[in-house]
Structure 1
Amino acid sequence: MLAALSVAKFDKVALALTSRDAGTVVDLIEKLKTEFGDFAYDDDEADDWFEKDAASQKLITKAGFNQKSWKTAVDETMKGFFATIPEAEIKTVLDGARQRTESATDLKAEQKKAVLELIEEQRKEMLALREGGKPFAGVVAPFAQRIRKFTMDNLGER
């Protein structure tokens, strides 16, 4: 039984995000965004970028990733990044979006309601990402400012 537990523990550690992988993900996104545009993290973004890169420079595969390992590394890196963002900062960003929506004069009541519902969905998603990223936050923290530049810094422009 002890042997089985240590094998299970080893497997979990072997699958954990490494600093090298997180750094490579950040490097690649910074390089590829000039070709592919802004990086908007969601469930499909890693796969989309992998496919675009496979038809282009193949930088992702040259860095040692296959599609599955790339998606896992991107997911864990981004979740780890969200875990480094204080909950109060997330609240401030979304409260600002909510206030801008409520005071918008060019939106009808039903449009405002739909946007406010979307903002609430985003809040829940971001908090879930934060929670899921806690195991990776320490690995990703050294890259947080670089990740912020291609994610959060774009929010004010939208």
Structure 2
Amino acid sequence: MSANLKRHIAGGLLAASLALGALVLPARALTLEEAGKVVQLLGELEPELGRLAYDEEEADQWFDDDAGLEGRIAKAGFDRESWKQALGATFRGYLATIAAEHFEATFSGLTEKVDASDLNADQKAEMRSFVETKIAETRALRAEGARYVDAVQPYAARLNELLGDDE
């Protein structure tokens, strides 16, 4: 297997797992106002902090980095935990707003790339298992997001700009 193909497969899996997250938060209502604040903050902070690759550590890092700048997250009324909860709920709600065909297309070809790779049989089995686990986790996040759709739907287009794929 060429080094480029390995990097391409690993990069695709990393991007999918980071972009689609794997954080489990306690169920709590997300208000339209909270979702709006999260979306506004994502837009304001992206130029300084870069594109959000959502997971719990990234949520913490954004909170810390912003605290060292202007503290906009705290000024918007969030402490670290409420920020992580609102960001997580907004992210899940965003996943739930994505059309099913587009959402599933995100995973199209990932396992086929593993099968077509030059990895040995054990490596392929391990990589396939990893891919299938990440796909299942992401589908679960989307299912969890159904409870947040009403709060997130008005911001779906902007979230797609901020969190969606670049293609």
TM bucket normalised to smaller: 0.7 to 0.9
Query: Once the two structures are superposed, what CA deviation does each residue of 1:5-59 show, in whole Å capped at 9, x if it has no partner?
Result: xxxxxxxxxx521111101101111111211112111122211111111111201
Partner of 2:154: 142
Distance in 2 between residues matched to 1:118 and 1:152, nearest whole Å: 22
Shift of 1:100: 4.2
**Structure 2: gaps (5+ residues):** 1-27
Instruction: Assess, with a 3 A threshold, how the Cα gap between structure 1 residues 111 and 17 changes in structure 2: closer, same or farther.
Output: same
1:30 matches 2:43: yes
Instruction: Select 1:59's aligned residue among 72, 94, 102.
Output: 72
Instruction: Assess, with a 3 A threshold, how the Cα gap between structure 1 residues 70 and 114 changes in structure 2: closer, same or farther.
Output: same
Q: TM-score, normalised by structure 2?
A: 0.73
**More helix by percentage:** 1
Question: One-letter code of the match for 1:40?
Answer: A
Say what the alpha-carbon RMSD is for the aligned residues: 2.0
Distance in 2 between residues matched to 1:100 and 1:150, nearest whole Å: 27
Query: Once the two structures are superposed, what CA deviation does each residue of 1:75-100 show, in whole Å capped at 9, x if it has no partner?
Result: 11111111112333222110133344
Max Rg structure: 1
Partner of 2:61: 48
Shift of 1:132: 1.1
Tell me the SS of whatever aligns to 2:56.
Answer: coil
**Structure 1: gaps (5+ residues):** 1-14
Query: Once the two structures are superposed, what CA deviation does each residue of 1:83-126 show, in whole Å capped at 9, x if it has no partner?
Result: 1123332221101333444445xx53365544433321221111
1:63-142 counterparts in 2 under 5 A?
63-103=76-116, 107-109=118-120, 112-142=124-154
Between the aligned residues of both structures, percent identity stands at 35
Tell me the SS of whatever aligns to 1:40.
Answer: coil
Partner of 2:23: none
Shift of 1:71: 1.0
